Amino acid sequence: MEFKVLGKDGKARAGVIKTNNGEVLTPAFMPVGTQATVKTMSPEELAEIGYQMILANAYHLYLRPGHKIIEKLGGLHRFMNWKSAILTDSGGFQVYSLAKLRKISDEGVEFQSHIDGGRHFFSPEKVMEIQEALGADIIMPLDDCPALPASRSRLEESVERTVNWAKQSKAVKKKEGQALFGIIQGGLDIELRRRCFLELYQIGFSGYALGGLAVGEEPNERAKIVEEMSRILPEDKPRYLMGVGPVEECLSAVRQGIDLFDCVLATRNARNGQIFTSSGKINIKNSEYAEDESPLDRECDCYVCRNYTRAYLRHLYVSGEILGIRLNTWHNLYYYQMFFTRMREAVMAGKFEEFYLEGKKKFEEER
C-alpha cells in the first residue's frame, strides 16, 4: 500500500491510497459491507456510483460463512465479486457491541456468537489470521474498545492492551501487499489518546485510525478528540476516523485532516426510509409524498433521481417492496460519494474553507 497527499488546503488533504486492488482517492467514505455485501447493492452499482473501497467485517465473516471457506474460494474480493479495495475491521468493536458474555484478558477476548451462542476466542494473532485469509487490502488489529463514558483506569487498561495487541499483530505474517493500520484508543482523554498514538507510532503502521468513538459520547466531544489528534498524526500516513458518519461531522473531520470514514448511516437510514438530500433529510414514508412527482433530490443526478418519483419510491416503501430499499440505498450512497467528491475538489481547488463554511451553515439551517 502506498499513500500520497496530492493537495492540501489548511489542514484538509486530498490524497490517494494505492492498493493491489486499485486506487482510492481520499477523503473517502467506505460503504459498510459487513457480511460481504453492502446491503441491497450489487458490486457493479457501487462501482458505478464511484466507490473505490468498501469495509467488511472480520468478526462477522469469521462467524459466517467462516474465513477458511472464503480463503478456499479465492479470498473476499473474489467471493463477493468486488474488484476494488477492501478494508476489514478487526471485530474489536463488534465483540463489544454484538457478542454476548465477552470476557476480556490480556490474551484476548472470549465471547459468544450473536448468531448461535457458540463460544469463540479472539487473540490478536487469531484476528490477523482471519484477515490474512480474507485478503483485504487494509486490515485492522484487534483492539480493546470500551463504551463511553468509561473510567480513567478502564481507558488506561484499554490503551495498554490495544498497544500490546497492535505490536503482536504487526509481528504476524500477512498477505503480500496487505497494510496494517494502528488503532488509537483512549476515550475522551487527550493525554491517553496521545500516549496511545505515540506508542503505536514507535511500532510503526501504514495508517492510523481513531477508534473507540461513536460509542456513546457527544459529537462535540468527538470533534475535540479529532482536532487534538490531527495535530500530531503523521502527514504521510492515511488517517481514518472509524464509524463516524453524519456528513456534517465528516466535513469537520476532513477540515482537521482526516482521510477515511465508514458508517452504516447511509445504508441503514435508507432501509428505514430516511433519505439524504441537498435540502435536508426526508422520510419517504410520509404521506405528503404520495403524489409527489419530483425526484428524491432535485439537485441530484443519480440513477434513482433521474428515473423515479418520490410517489413511486413511497409506494414501494409502504408496500414493503425490496426495490424501494434498493433505490433508497443507491441514492443515499450516491449522496455520500458526491459529498466526498466535492470535498476533495474543494481541497484541490484551494477552496475548502469556503466549502466548509457553506456546508456548515446549510447543515445548521436544516436542523
Catalytic residues: 89, 262
CA–CA dist 250, 354 (Å, integer): 16
Binding to its own copies (CB under 8 A) within 30-49 occurs at 35-37, 39-42
C-alpha cell, 46? 457501487
CB nearer to its own copies: pick between 13 and 77? 77
CB nearer to its own copies: pick between 168 and 309? 309
CB of 122 to its own copies, least distance (A): 20
Angle, vertex CA 84, rays to CA 114 and CA 179, nearest 5: 70
321 near its own copies (CB under 8 A): yes
Considering only 326, 335, 337, 339, the residue that binds its own copies (CB under 8 A) is 326
325 near its own copies (CB under 8 A): yes
Stretch in the footprint of its own copies (CB under 8 A) among 9-17, 50-58, 212-220, 319-327: 319-327
Residues in contact with its own copies, total (CB under 8 A)? 35
User: 179's torsion region: left (phi>0), alpha (psi -120 to 50) or beta?
Assistant: beta
Using CB under 8 A as the criterion, what x/- string covers residues 56-95 for binding its own copies?
--------xx---x--xxx----xxx--------------
301 near its own copies (CB under 8 A): no
Please name the residue that has the C-alpha cell 408496500.
Answer: 319
Sheet of strand 2-9, all strands in order from the earlier edge strand to the far edge: 2-9, 12-19, 22-26
User: 117's torsion region: left (phi>0), alpha (psi -120 to 50) or beta?
Assistant: left
CA–CA dist 281, 347 (Å, integer): 26
CB of 96 to its own copies, least distance (A): 21
H/E stretch holding 193: helix 190-203
298 near its own copies (CB under 8 A): no
Amino acid at 162: T
Please name the residue that has the C-alpha cell 478502564.
Answer: 154
Collapsing DSSP to helix, strand or coil, 100 comes out as strand
Binding to its own copies (CB under 8 A) within 234-293 occurs at 290-291, 293
CB of 307 to its own copies, least distance (A): 5
CB of 332 to its own copies, least distance (A): 15
Q: Which pairing describes strands 239-241 and 207-210: parallel, antiparallel, or unpaired?
A: parallel
Considering only 316, 333, 338, 346, the residue that binds its own copies (CB under 8 A) is 316
CA–CA dist 115, 92 (Å, integer): 17
C-alpha cell, 17? 491510497
CB of 289 to its own copies, least distance (A): 10
Look up residue 24 and give its DSSP letter.
E
C-alpha cell, 61? 465473516
CB of 266 to its own copies, least distance (A): 15
**295 cis-preceded (ω within 30 degrees of 0):** no
Amino acid at 258: I
Considering only 125, 311, 348, 363, the residue that binds its own copies (CB under 8 A) is 311
CB nearer to its own copies: pick between 68 and 103? 68
Q: Which residues bind its own copies (CB under 8 A)?
A: 35-37, 39-42, 64-65, 69, 72-74, 79-81, 290-291, 293, 307-309, 311-312, 314-316, 318-319, 321-326
